[in-house]
């Protein structure tokens, strides 16, 4: 095996912000005072916040040191399943920081904001082309916000028909946010089991779908990394009872240019621009979760919508059946701008993106399938799911495998998800990892499987070389210490 990527370097300790500094310091250049002070009633006046006072260098050193305790896509391979941790192009960051975009006030008159309106208008067109669904809103600020918006649209659709439906079908391979999003719209979730092939059976759907059910939320490809082969039949059954099909497009990276989502029978689909369209995840956001809908549902999309008139762009509120607004302004424009840059950089190469993402996942699946237990041995899409079954005898679990991977310089895969598989290890390499890096990951996984047999202590004690070792999460939850 090649030299380990993971190693120890000089890492600094760094206290909490308020354990540093001295009263009277400042790390900010206060603008010159060119007006007189104006007193404020004592009754309204407070004491000001108790923040530590620090110099500019104090602040820079603090956050530089903290950043070194983190692992990002730029540090190494990050095969976190269902999160599509692909490379985040640097040019996108450059575009978003242009003063014309970064400094733009959201309530500028339309004639003074043509550039951003054009970007939103064009991006909607591109996403419609990529998905096959003709109408798009960019307003949701994240994937789950998109789900919520989509479910609100489904709710509005039934209401407009004078119906109240109380249930939504959710497969056991769905993302955890799905039932929570449905609940916010007042729907009760009905869990639908996938079959022994890891996908939905039309028969199961027939049994539960009725006229009190608003629709189904399907993740396709699903969280086992499998394409829902019966999706069209499932959609037909749901439609025949007057329901709608919600598509969770978090896994769109598998099927760009391959599948027409509208042909699947999907009525509403959300996309995660911070997954498929290369915008960075920022350690927990900001994301962006546009939704794409059929012609029939377009009238319910959030307002305002960008329209074009004689080559000029404007914002229109003139959609009386719209569900309303779900963000104060237009969603995370700064994120959409990066996705727009990505699409312009890639063009029709997006199909290649999906092909290579799927190739890499299948390559890993084939390379590791003798070593780790593969619950569904069939062609996968952009991710593959193994379990820790083969390692059980050595009393080593998925968690230990994940922690040991860190010492080799890899971010672990998604673990213990999806719930339908016990001890899941969900691996999504993405198309931006080279064959050498993927081979290195495969070799490492094999080495860890070997260690599990010969020296399980190495796994159980891992990680030892990280900034901190395994943390006591139970104590953290039992006696929460949420601020200092």
Partner 1 sequence: MRYLPHTSENIASMLQKVGVKNLDELFSTIPEDCRRKDDLNLPEPMSEWELNDHMNTLAGTMAVSPEYKVFLGAGSYDHYIPEAIKHLLMRSEVYTAYTPYQPEISQGTLQTIYEYQTLITRLLGMEVANASMYDGASGLAEALLMAIRITRRKKVAVSNAIHPLYRRVVQTYFAPTGYEIVEIPYLANGRTDISALDNLEELAAVAVQSPNFFGCIEDLKNIGEKAHSDKKTLFVTCFTEPLAYGLLKSPGSLEADIVCGEGQSLGVPRSFGGPGLGIFASLNKYVRNMPGRLIGQTVDKDGKRGFVLTLATREQHIRREKATSNICSNEGLCATTATMYMASLGGTGFRELAGLNRDKAEYLKGEMKNAGFTISFDSPTFNEFVVESPAGFETTYKKLLKRKIVAGLPLAPYYPELDDHYLFCVTETSSKEDMDALIKEVTS
Under rule CB under 8 A, residue 162 binds partner 1 = no
Q: Please identify, using beta-carbon distances, which residue of 393 and 468 lies nearer to partner 1.
A: 468
Tokens linked to 268: 């509403």
Question: 266-303: string of b/e by CB count within 10 Å (b at 16+)?
Answer: bbbbbbbbbbbbbbbbeeeebbbbbbbbbeebbbbbbb
Q: Please identify, using beta-carbon distances, which residue of 317 and 453 lies nearer to partner 1.
A: 317
Stretch that binds partner 1, among 171-179, 201-209, 292-300, 446-454 (CB under 8 A): 171-179
What is the C-alpha separation between 250 and 242, in angstroms, rounded? Answer: 25
What is the C-alpha separation between 291 and 147, in angstroms, rounded? Answer: 8
Neighbours of 10 (CB within 10 A): 5
Of the candidate residues 130, 135, 169, 271, the single one contacting partner 1 (CB under 8 A): 130
**Mask: binding to partner 1, 307-336, rule CB under 8 A, as x and -?**
----------------xxxxxxxxxxxxx-
Distance between the two ends of the chain, CA-based, in angstroms? 45
What is the C-alpha separation between 129 and 261, in angstroms, rounded? Answer: 10
Q: Please identify, using beta-carbon distances, which residue of 129 and 314 lies nearer to partner 1.
A: 129
What is the C-alpha separation between 291 and 297, in angstroms, rounded? Answer: 11
Task: Return the closest-CA partner of residue 194 out of 161, 236, 250, 234.
Answer: 234
User: Which residue blocks in 278-370 are alpha helix, DSSP H?
Assistant: 333-346, 350-368
- Residues 437-476 within binding reach of partner 1 (CB under 8 A): 463, 466-473, 475-476
Stretch that binds partner 1, among 175-183, 237-245, 290-298, 421-429 (CB under 8 A): 175-183
Instruction: Report, in Å, the least distance between residue 306 CB and partner 1.
Output: 12
Under rule CB under 8 A, residue 202 binds partner 1 = no
Under rule CB under 8 A, residue 375 binds partner 1 = no
Tokens linked to 294: 């059929």
User: Rounded to the nearest 5°, which phi and psi values hold at 376?
Assistant: -125, 100
Instruction: Report, in Å, the least distance between residue 79 CB and partner 1.
Output: 11
What is the C-alpha separation between 72 and 232, in angstroms, rounded? Answer: 38
What is the C-alpha separation between 140 and 213, in angstroms, rounded? Answer: 25
Of the candidate residues 195, 316, 349, 455, the single one contacting partner 1 (CB under 8 A): 349
Whether the bond into 284 is cis, omega within 30 of 0: no
Neighbours of 191 (CB within 10 A): 11
- Residues 105-124 within binding reach of partner 1 (CB under 8 A): 105-109, 111-116, 118-119
Largest CA distance in the chain: 77
Q: Please identify, using beta-carbon distances, which residue of 285 and 453 lies nearer to partner 1.
A: 285
Of the candidate residues 79, 215, 280, 429, the single one contacting partner 1 (CB under 8 A): 280
Under rule CB under 8 A, residue 50 binds partner 1 = yes
Q: Please identify, using beta-carbon distances, which residue of 1 and 284 lies nearer to partner 1.
A: 284
Tokens linked to 64: 């530089």
Instruction: Report, in Å, the least distance between residue 389 CB and partner 1.
Output: 22
Under rule CB under 8 A, residue 59 binds partner 1 = yes
Under rule CB under 8 A, residue 370 binds partner 1 = no
Under rule CB under 8 A, residue 367 binds partner 1 = yes
Contact 146, 326 (CB under 8 A): no
Under rule CB under 8 A, residue 21 binds partner 1 = yes
Contact 86, 361 (CB under 8 A): no
Q: Please identify, using beta-carbon distances, which residue of 48 and 393 lies nearer to partner 1.
A: 48
Of the candidate residues 88, 194, 276, 444, the single one contacting partner 1 (CB under 8 A): 88
Instruction: Report, in Å, the least distance between residue 159 CB and partner 1.
Output: 9
Q: Please identify, using beta-carbon distances, which residue of 88 and 387 lies nearer to partner 1.
A: 88
Under rule CB under 8 A, residue 40 binds partner 1 = yes
Q: Please identify, using beta-carbon distances, which residue of 258 and 296 lies nearer to partner 1.
A: 258
Stretch that binds partner 1, among 39-47, 389-397, 420-428, 451-459 (CB under 8 A): 39-47
- Residues 132-151 within binding reach of partner 1 (CB under 8 A): 132, 141-145, 147-148, 151
Of the candidate residues 183, 208, 447, 458, the single one contacting partner 1 (CB under 8 A): 183
What is the C-alpha separation between 275 and 253, in angstroms, rounded? Answer: 8
Under rule CB under 8 A, residue 176 binds partner 1 = yes
Task: Return the closest-CA partner of residue 247 out of 263, 224, 267.
Answer: 267
What is the C-alpha separation between 453 and 305, in angstroms, rounded? Answer: 59
Q: Please identify, using beta-carbon distances, which residue of 282 and 453 lies nearer to partner 1.
A: 282
């Amino acid at each position: 095996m090649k030299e380990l990527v993971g190693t120890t370097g000089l890492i600094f300790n760094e206290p909490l912000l308020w354990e540093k500094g001295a009263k009277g310091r400042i790390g900010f250049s206060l603008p010159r005072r060119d007006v007189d002070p104006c007193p404020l009633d004592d009754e309204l006046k407070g004491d000001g916040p108790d923040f530590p006072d620090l110099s500019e260098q104090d602040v820079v050193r603090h956050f530089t040191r903290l950043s070194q305790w983190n692992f990002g896509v730029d540090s190494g391979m990050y095969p976190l399943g269902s999160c599509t941790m692909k490379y985040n192009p640097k040019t996108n960051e450059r575009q978003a920081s242009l003063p014309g975009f970064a400094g733009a006030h959201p309530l500028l008159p339309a004639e003074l904001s043509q550039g951003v309106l054009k970007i939103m208008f064009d991006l909607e067109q591109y996403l419609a082309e990529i998905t096959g669904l003709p109408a798009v809103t960019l307003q949701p600020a994240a994937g789950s916000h998109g789900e919520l918006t989509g479910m609100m649209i489904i709710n509005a659709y039934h209401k407009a028909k004078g119906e109240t439906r109380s249930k939504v079908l959710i497969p056991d391979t769905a993302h955890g946010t799905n039932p929570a999003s449905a609940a916010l719209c007042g729907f009760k979730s009905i869990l639908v089991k996938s079959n022994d092939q890891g996908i939905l059976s039309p028969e199961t759907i027939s049994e539960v779908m009725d006229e009190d059910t608003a629709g189904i939320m399907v993740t396709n490809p699903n969280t086992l990394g499998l394409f829902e082969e019966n999706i069209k039949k499932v959609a037909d059954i749901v439609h025949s009872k007057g329901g709608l099909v919600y598509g969770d497009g978090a896994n769109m990276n598998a099927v760009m240019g391959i599948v027409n989502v509208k042909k699947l029978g999907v009525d509403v689909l959300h996309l995660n621009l911070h997954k498929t369209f290369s915008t960075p995840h920022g350690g927990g956001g900001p994301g962006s979760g546009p939704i794409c809908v059929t012609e029939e549902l377009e009238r319910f999309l959030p307002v305002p919508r960008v329209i074009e008139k004689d080559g000029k762009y404007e914002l229109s509120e003139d959609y009386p059946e719209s569900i309303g607004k779900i963000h104060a302004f237009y969603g995370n424009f700064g994120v959409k701008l990066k996705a727009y840059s990505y699409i312009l950089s890639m063009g029709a190469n997006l199909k290649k993106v999906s092909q290579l993402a799927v190739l890499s996942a299948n390559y890993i699946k084939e390379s590791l399938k003798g070593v780790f237990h593969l619950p569904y041995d069939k062609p996968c899409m952009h991710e593959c799911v193994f379990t820790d079954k083969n390692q059980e005898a050595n009393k080593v679990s998925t968690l230990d495998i994940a922690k040991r991977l860190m010492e080799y310089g890899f971010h672990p895969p998604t673990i213990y998800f999806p719930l339908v598989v016990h001890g899941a290890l969900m691996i999504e390499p993405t198309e931006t990892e080279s064959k050498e890096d993927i081979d290195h990951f495969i070799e490492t996984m094999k080495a860890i499987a070997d260690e599990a047999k010969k020296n399980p202590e190495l796994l159980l004690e891992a990680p030892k070389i990280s900034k901190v070792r395994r943390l006591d999460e139970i104590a953290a939850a039992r006696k929460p210490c949420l601020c200092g």
